[in-house]
Amino acid sequence: MDNLTLEQRTKNMRNIRSKGTKPEIAIMSELKKAKIYFSTYAKNIVGKPDIVFRRKKIAVFIDSDFWHKHPTRFIAPKTNIEYWTNKIDRNQQRDKFVTKELKKSGWRVIRIWEYDIKKSLSKCINRILKEYNK
C-alpha cells in the first residue's frame, strides 16, 4: 500500500517535470557555453527530442532512469505493480519506436541516461560533440 495520502501522491506526481529537468539543463548549459546552437523540445519532430541539431539531423534524448527503465538502475515501485509495469513498458516501446522512425528519416539519435549526466557530465557532452562534429 502507498504510504502517502491521495493528495500527497497527486502533488508529488504533478511536480514531476517532462521538460526542463536538471539533467537536461546541465547538458543545455554546457552546449551554450560551447556556443553550439540547438533547439529544444521540437514538437514537429517524432518523439519531441530534448535537444535538436536540425542542420546536422541529430536528436538527443535525456532519459530518466525510472521513466525509461534503465537496465540496472531501475527500481520498480512496490505498489500498484501492474499499472507501473504497463506504464514503464509503454515508455520503453515508445522510445524504441521513436528511435527507429527517426533513423529511418536519416536522423542520428543519441540517448543519454540521467545517471550518466550526474556521474560524468563531460563524458556526455563529449559524446554529443563527437556526433555533432562528424
Domains identified in the chain, total number: 1
**What local confidence, expressed as pLDDT, does residue 86 receive?**
92
Q: 88: domain CATH number? A: 3.40.960.10
Q: How confident is the model at residue 13 (pLDDT cuts 50, 70, 90)?
A: low
Over residues 102-128, the pLDDT tens digits come to: 999 999 999 999 999 999 999 999 999
**DSSP letter string over 35-74?**
T---EES-TTSTT--SEEETTTTEEEEEE-TTTTT-TTT-
Quick one: cell of 109?
A: 539519435
Domain housing 58: 18-132
- Asked whether residue 59 is domain-assigned, the answer is yes
Q: Determine the number of helices (DSSP H) and then strands (DSSP E) in the chain.
A: 5, 4
- Asked whether residue 128 is domain-assigned, the answer is yes
Query: What are the CA-CA distances from residue 47 to residues 44, 68, 116 (Å)?
Result: 9, 13, 21
- Asked whether residue 11 is domain-assigned, the answer is no
Mean of all residue pLDDT scores within the chain: 88
DSSP-derived 3-state class of residue 92 = helix
Over residues 20-52, the pLDDT tens digits come to: 789 999 999 999 999 999 999 999 999 999 999
- Asked whether residue 112 is domain-assigned, the answer is yes
- pTM for this prediction: 0.83
- Asked whether residue 7 is domain-assigned, the answer is no
Please name the residues in contact with 125: beta carbons below 8 A apart, sequence gap of 6 or more: 27, 30, 31, 34
CB 28 within 8 A of CB 51: yes
Pairing of strands 39-40, 58-63: unpaired
**Average pLDDT rounded to a whole number, residues 57-79:** 90
Say how many CA atoms lie within 13 Å of 96 toward its Cβ. Answer: 7
- Asked whether residue 25 is domain-assigned, the answer is yes
- Asked whether residue 12 is domain-assigned, the answer is no
